[in-house]
Amino acid sequence: MKPFYHINAKSFDEAVSLLKQYGDKAKVMGGGTDLIVELRERCIEANTVPPKQPQYLINLKTIPNADYIVESEGVLKIGALAKLHSIEMSSLVQQKYLLLAQAAHAVGSYQIRVMGTIAGNICQDVRCWYYRKKQFYCLRKGGAICYAVAGRNDMMHSIFGGPAGCFATNQSDMATALTALEASIVTTERTIAIKDFFINTGPGNVLKPDEIIKEILVPPVETNTKQIYIHWRPIKSRGFGIINVAAALTMSGTTCTAAKIALGGVAPTPVRAKAAEDEIKGKTINETTAEAAAAKAVTGAVALAYNKWKIAATKGIVKKTILACV
């Protein structure tokens, strides 16, 4: 690992000031479960454009009282430094926002969840092996091409296209669940709807270089809403989900009156399966209607050479998620 300076921030204002002072030589760190791995593997060397190998790490964990999980006027408020394990085990989250508890539980191992933060999980970098290997100067690093297009594309690559040519997928469990719950992200400058947080025309998110997430806001969940999160991977492991589906279906008996379904791991950003939602609204949930909605969820999917199976797998997991809401 290349050497770096480690600075403990005492407030978000101080962290922002340090980012402005050091510019692209600095990065903020919460739990560090993703960033430290990137530094150790040197997958983001200083020859990227802009440079990503930081000389200064600004530690946010020393900011007091930034890990709260509270409800105020019906809105769930989660501090950016709230640990995934705390979210998973929160009685408030389990009772009213079960989707978030399930998504938090799906992340990695226990050791990862007691270190990783919700903001860090939302902002984590992609798992594309070309990006993660330092010898490939790929499009995401400022290079000219996405090696996955003509190379070995499979589990960690998109079936819904590649904005700006990058086919790496977003693997964030929390971002997928928050998309289904129509959450918002409060930064040191503004409030951003989760649907607008990720860049649809290219890799990454809309945070400015000196902007930091402070809080996540989740609106009230309608009464009688069944919440199910399925994190699927082809082998039993503690790795990243290859296909993630979050569903919040408001039910009247076995009839769906409102639906919110989000997909993760299949596109460069978490995506709402709007066509699937429209297909299921006002209908009784059964094998036939769930199958029809699942087919709508993969409308427009176009696979690369080695990940065609993801289309069929996504369809099957969406169907399973919908049926689990009955």
Helix, coil or strand: residue 50: coil
The pLDDT value recorded for residue 51 is 59
pLDDT in tens, the chain (326 residues): 788 999 999 999 999 999 999 998 999 999 999 898 888 887 766 556 665 678 999 999 999 999 999 999 999 999 999 999 999 999 999 999 999 999 999 998 999 999 999 999 999 999 999 988 888 888 888 888 999 999 999 999 999 999 889 999 999 999 999 999 999 999 999 999 999 999 876 678 999 999 999 999 999 999 999 999 999 987 766 678 899 999 999 999 999 999 999 999 999 999 999 999 999 999 999 999 999 999 999 999 999 999 999 999 999 999 999 999 99
Helix, coil or strand: residue 181: coil
Residues 6+ apart with CB under 8 A from 201: 163, 164
CA torsion angle 113 116 122 127 (round to 10): -80
Angle between helices 309-323 and 287-297 (to 10 degrees): 140
Residues in a beta bridge with 83: 117
Instruction: Give the chain's domains with CATH numbers.
Output: 225-323 (3.30.390.50)
Helix or strand run (H / E) with residue 277: helix 274-280
The pLDDT value recorded for residue 48 is 61
Q: Is the pTM of this model over 0.85?
A: yes
SS3 content of the chain, % helix, strand, coil (to 5): 35, 20, 45
* DSSP character string of 207-242: --TT--EEEEEEPPPPTTEEEEEEEE-SSSSSS--S
The pLDDT value recorded for residue 44 is 67
Helix, coil or strand: residue 42: coil
| 307 DSSP 8-state letter | -
The pLDDT value recorded for residue 143 is 86
The pLDDT value recorded for residue 134 is 81
The pLDDT value recorded for residue 141 is 83
The residue with tokens 């005492």 is 10
